[in-house]
């Protein structure tokens, strides 16, 4: 029987590519999204992947959404924590709202999404949790103290939960993308974009599909001996 995989932020950008890659690998995929109904409907029509709307910053909404997926699709074997937002600003001008919105969505969501499913994974003796960090969570980035803190915290969470669940057949890993050619990056002014590309040794932006292939591997049986690891997919921009 096909395994069920949930991808947060799974209808756009990197999440879109991850959802499609997992479906092509044979998983039953549920793609979570937060608010863009039009994009979610288009994604569902194009891919045939089920979509579920809730806010990953809310523990109650995650509990409800995950329970609905399990009732409709079956026990959840794979969780990809991809959802994330930015609210950039230098710290001395950052508002509390900018800070808490990013921490709630990019970091607290890991607890909200993982806690409701981890006991079931332990009982069944199998689970794959893949958390999407960022090169800026590894090296830090000016104007992103909130985002960098959240994405760095994600790596610590991964290492701890990996140790707790390794004996139960559950792996927990990180993929840390560099600058990927998504709508968000494409919106950067051309001079700034060229400066960014100039800092990437391979000389180009990454592709969402390249990140998705990393995730699909970590979700597979072949990756059963890899846990607590961080795969840096950044074109050599930062060597951790």
Residues labelled as active-site residues: 147
Edge-to-edge strand order for the sheet containing 4-7?
Answer: 50-53, 28-33, 4-7, 76-81, 127-132, 170-177, 230-233
Indicate the burial class of 64 (C-beta count within 10 angstroms; 0-12, 13-18, 19 or more). Answer: middle
Residue 55 gets which letter from DSSP?
-
Terminal Cα-to-Cα distance of the chain (whole angstroms): 38
Determine the Cα–Cα distance for residues 103 and 92; give it in Å rounded to an integer: 17
Q: Where on the phi/psi map is residue 60: left (φ > 0), alpha (ψ -120 to 50), or beta?
A: alpha
Q: Taking the mean position of all CA atoms in its chain, how far away is CA 177?
A: 10
Is the CB of residue 30 less than 8 Å from the CB of residue 50? yes
């Amino acid at each position: 029987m096909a395994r069920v995989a949930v991808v947060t932020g799974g209808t756009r950008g990197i999440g879109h590519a991850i959802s499609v890659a997992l479906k092509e690998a044979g998983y039953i995929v549920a793609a979570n999204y937060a608010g863009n109904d039009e994009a979610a409907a288009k994604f569902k029509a194009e891919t045939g992947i089920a979509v579920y709307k809730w806010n990953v910053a809310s523990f109650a909404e995650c509990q409800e959404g995950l329970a609905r997926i399990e009732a409709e699709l079956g026990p959840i074997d794979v969780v990809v924590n991809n959802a994330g937002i930015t609210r950039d600003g230098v710290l001395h001008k950052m508002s509390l709202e900018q800070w808490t919105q990013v921490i709630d969505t990019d970091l607290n969501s890991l607890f909200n999404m993982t806690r409701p499913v981890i006991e079931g994974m332990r009982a069944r003796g199998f689970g794959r949790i893949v958390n999407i960090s960022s090169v800026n969570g590894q090296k830090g980035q000016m104007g992103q103290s909130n985002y960098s803190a959240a994405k760095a915290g994600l790596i610590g969470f991964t290492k701890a939960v990996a140790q707790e669940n390794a004996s139960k057949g559950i792996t927990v890993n990180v993929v840390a993308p560099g600058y990927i050619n998504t709508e968000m990056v494409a919106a950067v002014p051309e001079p700034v974009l060229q400066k960014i590309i100039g800092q990437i040794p391979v000389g180009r932006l990454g592709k969402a599909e390249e990140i998705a292939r990393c995730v699909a591997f970590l979700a597979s049986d072949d990756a059963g001996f890899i846990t607590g690891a961080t795969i840096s997919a950044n074109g050599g921009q930062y060597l951790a």
